[in-house]
Amino acid sequence: MAAPGTSIVPDTFEALWTEAHGRAAMRKGTLAAAEAGQVQVRTLHSAVSRGTELLVFRGEVPPSEYGRMRAPFQEGDFPFPVKYGYASVGRVEAGSPAWLGRTVFCLHPHQTRYVVPAASVHPVPDDVPSARAVLAANMETAVNALWDAAARVGDRIAVVGGGVVGLLVAWLAARIPGCAVELIDTHAARAAVAARLGLRFSTPGTATPDADLVVHASGQPAGLVTALSLAGFEATVLELSWYGQRAVSLPLGEAFHARRLSLRSSQVGHVAAAQRSRWDHGRRMALALSLLAAPELDALITDHAPFAELPAVLERLAAGAPDTLCQRIDYA
């Protein structure tokens, strides 16, 4: 049991569940009393993953990946009904005394309040606003991607796909001394966001060829084709996009072998191999949160809506919404 004065009185909450293909709804529940070593969090903000979360919303998680794709505090099973999500920022309102009143990030689905082990929350640095901290999971993915890519000082780096993860990868890469970084996207409106982050922008037709490293994050097979076309001799193309059940056709004839290209995947579920002996998930998340102190990253949060509108927000995002980058959800 929790120590005297720190027990958590059971209370109600609301959570978002995807109940069928393209349909989500709110469900109410009751919080269990916390045990020792747990915290109760009242959510301030969450964010919608436009990649993985929308694949879940559309029921496109392959059966072979049902186990690997489970989120830390997911309830239900794929395909439906399922409570899914992993970008929650809140304030600890009860539980372990050392955490009381602290703003924390947690890999938790969209829910108004929740009880989790204290080891599952990460303190948000004082210089990172809670509304920006929703980018932590995306930043963690971008950090891991650059570790996997092994970007080097002076590299010419192309990032194909100007979504949140692609923009964060490009922003981080541009801070490696001597690197020339180019963000490539078919959506010309991304140029304005790239400019706010200090990045050079091109469309596929104007992109610079012969890159030393290409990172693909568009989520579209055509983007990966573009990435392969931009890679120079013996360059690496790092694939960040996950396609769910979609088949991907690639031009692996033509000059693919003659240029001796390397195509490899990156996925945030495991710390990059080169760092794994020294870094765990907690240390990596702490780094990701600290990197969010840069105020220019607010440019990535283009939309916000109250929690009550989240089912409609998911429908809108699934229908397209090309101008939306990070969709933040705000809780009263």
**Residue 79 structure tokens:** 């395909």
Mean residue pLDDT of the chain comes to: 95
**pLDDT tens-digit readout, 286-328:** 999 999 999 999 999 999 999 999 999 999 999 999 999 999 9
> What is d(CA 112, CA 11) in angstroms, rounded to the nearest whole number?
11
Question: Residue 10's pLDDT band (boundaries 50, 70, 90)?
Answer: low
**pLDDT tens-digit readout, 83-117:** 999 999 999 999 999 999 999 999 999 999 999 99
How many other CB atoms are found less than 10 A from the CB of residue 28?
9
Q: What is the pLDDT of residue 254?
A: 87
Say whether pLDDT at 9 is over 90.
Answer: no
**pLDDT tens-digit readout, 179-222:** 999 999 999 999 999 999 999 999 999 999 999 999 999 999 99
**pLDDT tens-digit readout, 40-72:** 999 999 999 999 999 999 999 999 999 999 999
Mean pLDDT of 139-151: 98
CA R_g for the chain: 20
Crossing angle of helices 136-149 and 281-291, in 10° steps, is 110
Angular region, 219: left φ>0, alpha ψ -120 to 50, beta rest = left
Question: Residue 13's pLDDT band (boundaries 50, 70, 90)?
Answer: very high
Say whether pLDDT at 241 is over 50.
Answer: yes
Mean pLDDT of 10-34: 94
Q: What is the pLDDT of residue 86?
A: 97
Mind giving me the DSSP string for 236-285?
A: EEEE----TT-------STTTTTTT-EEEE--TTS--TTTTTT--HHHHH
Ordered by where they begin, the domains of the chain are 12-132+292-330 (3.90.180.10), 138-265 (3.40.50.720)
Give kind and range of the element (H or E) at residue 123. Answer: strand 121-123
Q: What is the pLDDT of residue 11?
A: 87
Say whether pLDDT at 8 is over 50.
Answer: no
Question: Residue 2's pLDDT band (boundaries 50, 70, 90)?
Answer: very low
Question: Residue 154's pLDDT band (boundaries 50, 70, 90)?
Answer: very high
CA 290 to each of CA 11, 95, 135, 153: distance values in angstroms, whole numbers, following the listed order: 33, 25, 11, 22
State residue 164 phi and psi, 5-degree precision.
-60, -50
**pLDDT tens-digit readout, 312-321:** 999 999 999 9
Say whether pLDDT at 5 is over 60.
Answer: no
